[in-house]
């Protein structure tokens, strides 16, 4: 029997190279309600963006003269329109490099325009800054028709809904001189930021996504871009695909950035060149400082939160106060990592452990998928012999370490160890075993059962790391406690997976049930009905397993 069970375990072990995702790989995308809200409140989201980041988010675009000098220089005064000027990251390098240019700077966000006007180099003799929604406001009421030599559109059209892009170009044409130029740079299809969106509910429409802060981004193909501009009488004279690998060694990130760069000319001729001579897709060698994003932009685009993205949750448990730093609610609904927030099941389990220290007293405790909060581990360490808090997400572990350091003091701080553990990863499991060769008496997991693909590796890992010895002091077998809300994984599937690895359900409890289903063990953790009344949601479940 034991031999068969062991064979079962080996058959179910995932390959070492397999990575377990505890978030869905495909999603239906943004609902119609949220799609309309993001469109309706677009100005509000960009205003919030600039209120939060001020002028620290984008790098100043000092590469403009290297890329497009011939369009800004020459005899006579050049009039430039900077569309989506933001905090002036292109405006002020331009007026510093070209003494004869005059820049009209407009942006969707009034707050961004105020940042331009507050800049130390702003002068009304060189810059006219104003707020303008190019999808609805008539640009010719601010700028004389046919008076602009060059329009710059740098990472701005991507923020507009695809169906409204033609109206933006029509608006720009009103003020652009015949044979005037549009200098364009924006996100390209295949950019790593777009790939990051694919596993989350962030898709609005084809190649159009919403970020965690409510701002949006479209990813252009060369075909879409040339067709869009040509339909509005703007012909592509230069067109290229830029690729650059950005490495952040401190965060161990390698990011493959892709963007489209083009020059369009406004001509009265319908076809300024035969289709056979139209520009083809080509790789453009970017200049050295070509990536516009600062450190803030890279973390924003790739889902790596900074300290400014966090908020603190206060939790009172049996007279002790915990301050738990988590990802701000503003970003939680679209964040890739599920470990950067505090789930209700963790709150419940932590409250139970605080009221019932005997559950962990003197034991070797392992927490699976604890995320950044680690609240159960921090409560358990006061009574347990030792506690190992684990998660597969490196960023969650970084935040977890901060939370533990700020909430615990010796000797408890030295008894709690954090470790990376990706379920089914043999190297990670081996490293955990090295910390505790005898195995763990108690393994806890809160809200770790909601992705079907992760269930077998979860039980497999728990079986590998659990002690095989019954406690002589208590005559008590090692146990696995799972606290969760049933989502995509139902109870029958969970029990079936557990049995494959020798786990037997000893007791269970559900707040939503009309009668208490517990066989007295879990019910004993709730000595007062008033405690149950304060449980945050009616859908929480607890399951208590032991090994056969």
Report DSSP state, residue 143.
S
**pLDDT tens, N- to C-terminus, the chain (548 residues):** 444 444 443 444 444 444 444 444 445 678 888 889 989 988 888 888 888 877 766 777 888 888 899 999 887 889 999 999 999 999 999 999 999 999 999 999 999 999 999 999 999 999 999 999 999 999 999 999 999 999 999 999 999 999 999 999 999 999 999 999 999 999 999 887 787 776 566 889 999 999 878 889 999 999 999 999 999 999 999 998 888 766 655 545 556 778 899 999 998 554 444 333 445 444 455 444 445 544 444 444 444 444 456 788 999 998 899 999 887 665 554 455 677 888 889 999 999 999 999 999 999 999 999 999 999 999 999 999 999 999 998 888 999 999 999 999 999 999 999 999 999 999 999 999 999 999 999 999 999 998 888 999 999 999 999 998 775 455 689 999 999 988 778 899 999 999 999 999 999 998 755 455 666 789 889 876 556 555 655 578 999 999 97
pLDDT at residue 302 in the model? 43
pLDDT at residue 309 in the model? 61
From its phi and psi, is residue 27 left (phi > 0), alpha (psi between -120 and 50) or beta?
A: beta
Is the pTM higher than 0.85? no
CA dist 290 and 259 (Å) reads 10
Residues in the chain: 548
pLDDT at residue 340 in the model? 81
pLDDT at residue 76 in the model? 81
Q: Are 465 and 366 in contact (CB under 8 A)?
A: yes
CATH class of 305-547: alpha beta
CATH 3.40.50.150 domain locations along the chain: 32-301, 305-547
pLDDT at residue 247 in the model? 61
Tokens of 382: 């006061």
C-alpha distances out from residue 107 to 9, 37, 111, 234, 361, Å:
60, 20, 9, 22, 60
pLDDT at residue 518 in the model? 61
CA dist 77 and 190 (Å) reads 39
CATH topology classification for 32-301: Rossmann fold (3.40.50)
CA dist 203 and 366 (Å) reads 37
Tokens of 329: 């609610």
Q: Are 127 and 113 in contact (CB under 8 A)?
A: no
Q: Are 415 and 427 in contact (CB under 8 A)?
A: no
């Amino acid at each position: 029997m034991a031999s068969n069970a062991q064979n079962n375990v080996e058959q179910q072990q995932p390959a070492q190279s397999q990575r377990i995702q505890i978030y869905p790989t495909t999603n239906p995308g943004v609902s119609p309600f949220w799609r309309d809200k993001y469109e309706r409140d677009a100005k509000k989201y960009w205003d919030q963006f600039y209120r939060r980041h001020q002028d620290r988010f984008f790098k100043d675009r000092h590469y403009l003269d290297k890329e497009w000098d011939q369009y800004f220089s020459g005899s006579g005064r050049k009039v430039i329109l900077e569309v989506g000027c933001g905090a002036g990251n292109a405006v002020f390098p331009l007026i510093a490099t070209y003494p004869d240019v005059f820049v009209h700077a407009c942006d969707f966000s009034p707050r961004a325009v105020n940042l331009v006007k507050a800049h130390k180099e702003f002068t009304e003799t060189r810059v006219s800054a104003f707020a303008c929604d190019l999808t609805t406001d008539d640009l010719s009421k601010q700028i004389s028709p046919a008076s602009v030599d060059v329009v710059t559109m740098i990472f701005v059209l991507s923020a507009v809904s695809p169906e409204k892009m033609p109206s933006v170009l029509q608006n720009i044409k009103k003020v652009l001189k015949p044979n005037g130029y549009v200098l364009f740079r924006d996100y390209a299809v295949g950019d790593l930021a777009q790939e990051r969106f694919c596993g989350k509910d962030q898709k609005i429409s084809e190649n159009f996504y919403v970020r965690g802060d409510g701002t949006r981004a479209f990813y252009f193909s060369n075909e879409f871009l040339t067709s869009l501009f040509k339909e509005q009488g703007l012909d592509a004279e230069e067109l290229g695909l830029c690729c650059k690998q950005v490495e952040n060694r401190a965060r161990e990130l390698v990011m493959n950035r892709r963007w489209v760069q083009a020059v369009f000319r406004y001509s009265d001729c319908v076809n300024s060149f035969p289709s056979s001579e139209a520009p083809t897709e080509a790789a453009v060698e970017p200049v050295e400082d070509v990536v516009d994003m600062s450190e803030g932009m890279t973390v924003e685009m790739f889902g790596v939160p900074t300290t400014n993205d966090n908020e603190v949750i206060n939790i009172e448990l049996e007279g002790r106060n915990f301050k738990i730093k988590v990802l701000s609610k503003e970003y939680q609904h679209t964040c890739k990592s599920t470990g950067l927030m505090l789930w209700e099941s963790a709150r419940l389990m932590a409250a139970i452990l605080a009221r019932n220290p005997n559950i962990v007293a003197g034991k070797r405790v392992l927490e699976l998928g604890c995320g950044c909060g680690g609240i159960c581990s921090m409560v358990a360490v006061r009574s347990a012999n030792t506690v190992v808090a684990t998660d597969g997400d490196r960023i969650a572990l970084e935040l977890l370490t901060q939370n533990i350091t700020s909430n615990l003091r010796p000797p408890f701080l030295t008894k709690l160890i954090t470790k990376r553990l990706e379920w089914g990863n043999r190297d990670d499991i081996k490293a955990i075993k090295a910390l505790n060769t005898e195995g763990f008496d108690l393994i806890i997991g809160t809200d770790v059962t909601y992705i079907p693909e992760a269930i077998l590796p979860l039980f497999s890992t728990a079986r590998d790391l659990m002690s095989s010895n019954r406690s002589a002091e208590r005559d008590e077998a090692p146990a696995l406690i799972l606290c969760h809300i049933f989502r995509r994984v139902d109870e029958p599937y969970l029990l079936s997976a557990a049995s494959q690895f020798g786990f037997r359900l000893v007791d269970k409890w559900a707040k939503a049930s009309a009668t208490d289903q517990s066989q007295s063990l879990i019910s004993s953790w709730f000595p007062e009905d008033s405690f149950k009344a304060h449980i945050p949601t009616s859908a929480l479940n607890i399951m208590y397993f032991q090994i056969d």
